A and B are shown apart, each in its own frame.
Chain A
Amino acid sequence: DSGVTQTPKHLITATGQRVTLRCSPRSGDLSVYWYQQSLDQGLQFLIQYYNGEERAKGNILERFSAQQFPDLHSELNLSSLELGDSALYFCASTESGFTYNEQFFGPGTRLTVL
């Protein structure tokens, strides 16, 4: 158990819908990262937040957005969902946004878009 929690574990929805994925980092970790794992694209970095502020952006679509709240949990919002958005979404956390410490990964949320 990494100490990072993600909810829900599974999510099934229809095209055009909007969903919110939630992540709680390890206690004391200030930085949260979101990754998408799909069969065709592999594991891709989406976005990073550090202490409430966006720190780095990867291959995140404009239909997707994220935020980190004062209690440090983070939410990834996916809107106008398409079939191709079906994937496993991971959240990871580190203590700081600048150190080279290990990123601790949550168990992921499996999103299925029908």
Chain B
Amino acid sequence: GEDVEQSLFLSVREGDSSVINCTYTDSSSTYLYWYKQEPGAGLQLLTYIFSNMDMKQDQRLTVLLNKKDKHLSLRIADTQTGDSAIYFCAERGNNAGNMLTFGGGTRLMVKP
């Protein structure tokens, strides 16, 4: 079945860039997503990328997709303390409905 892997933890200093990485196995993935989960809250969609794109930029967020290596990354420029959260990578394969497969989440800690 599909599998999505992420590193567990990332710590950066305020103002630095953060790069969160994700690998996936499903070659039929059509859309790939980044969700943010703050403590005690639900998941909030940050951005997504269609599988035929290499890069997508949205303000401080840059998503890079290497489809050959099945590697996705999320870069947060000028990271702020408010960016501290768990970030989930998710992929949508070519399946019935819109079922998402999530990675285990990367906890981002931003130090002042």
Contact present for A45 and B101 (CB under 8 Å): yes
Question: Which of B19-27, B39-47, B70-78 lies at the binding interface?
Answer: B39-47
- Check B95 for interface membership: any CB of A closer than 8 A: yes
Report the minimal beta-carbon distance from A106 to chain B, rounded to whole angstroms. 6
Q: Mark A26-66, 1 if CB is under 8 A from B, else 0.
A: 00000101010000001111001010000110100000000
User: How many contacts between A and B, using CB within 8 angstroms?
Assistant: 64
Question: For A92, what are the chain B residues with a Cβ–Cβ distance below 8 Å?
Answer: 43
Within 8 A of B (CB), among A74-114: 90, 92, 94, 97-108
Give the interface size bracket for B toward A: 20 to 34
How far apart are the CA atoms of A72 and B41 in the complex, in Å?
23
Known contacts A100-B31, A107-B41: A56-B99 contact under CB 8 Å: yes
A2 at interface (Cβ–Cβ under 8 A)?
yes
B61 contacts partner chain A, Cβ-Cβ < 8 Å:
no
Q: Does B98 contact A (CB under 8 A)?
A: yes
Contacts of A35 in B (CB 8 A): 102
Whether A48 pairs with B105 at a CB distance below 8 angstroms is: no
Given that A90-B42, A103-B45, A105-B42 are known contacts, is A42 also in contact with B105, CB under 8 Å in the complex? yes
